[in-house]
């Protein structure tokens, strides 16, 4: 989607602090980190959000979680991290391109907020 902020990040039209990329996903540092590790894992294919995802998107949804686990190991936060899909404006979703938050490197509290 041409007017999507995250789609522009993927193709390099907007700069980001890239952490990882492959043929399926692009990962970058959140611009407003809530923990020492706060990355956004986004599929290269534009999906508006989790509520708009369909059965054909199941593989990429799972793949994003596997990338989070890989990065959790690489960044040595395996003792505790959180993965979060915000769904809709009331959850805090402000960019409507599906993205998985990987948050860790500090103690997490419950409930989250």
- Residue pair 77/106 in contact by the 8 Å Cβ criterion: no
Which residue is it, tokens 């039209």? 13
Kindly name the residue from 38, 46, 97, 99 that is annotated as catalytic.
99
| Alpha-carbon distance values, 104 to 41, 61, 86, 89 (Å) | 14, 20, 16, 23
Entry field: residues in the chain: 113
The predicted structure's pLDDT at residue 1? 62
Question: Over 70: is that where the pLDDT of 31 sits?
Answer: yes
Percent above pLDDT 90 for the chain:
88
Which residue is it, tokens 């402000």? 94
Question: Over 90: is that where the pLDDT of 112 sits?
Answer: no
Q: Is 99 a catalytic residue?
A: yes
Nearest alpha carbon to residue 14 among 24, 2, 23, 22: 2
For range 84-98, the mean pLDDT? 93
The whole model's pTM is what?
0.94
Q: What is the pLDDT of residues 51-62, one digit of tens each?
A: 999 999 999 999
Cβ neighbours around 27 below 10 Å, total: 23
């Amino acid at each position: 989607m041409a007017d999507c902020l995250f789609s522009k990040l993927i193709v390099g039209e907007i700069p980001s602090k890239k952490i990882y990329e492959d043929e399926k996903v692009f990962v970058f540092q959140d611009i407003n980190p809530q923990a020492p590790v706060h990355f956004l894992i986004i599929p290269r294919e534009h999906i508006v959000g989790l509520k708009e995802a369909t059965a054909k998107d199941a593989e990429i949804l799972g793949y994003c979680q596997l990338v989070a686990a890989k990065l959790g190991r690489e960044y040595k936060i395996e003792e505790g991290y959180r993965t979060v899909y915000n769904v809709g404006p009331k959850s805090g979703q402000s960019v409507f391109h599906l993205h998985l938050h990987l948050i860790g490197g500090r103690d997490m509290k419950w409930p989250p907020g």
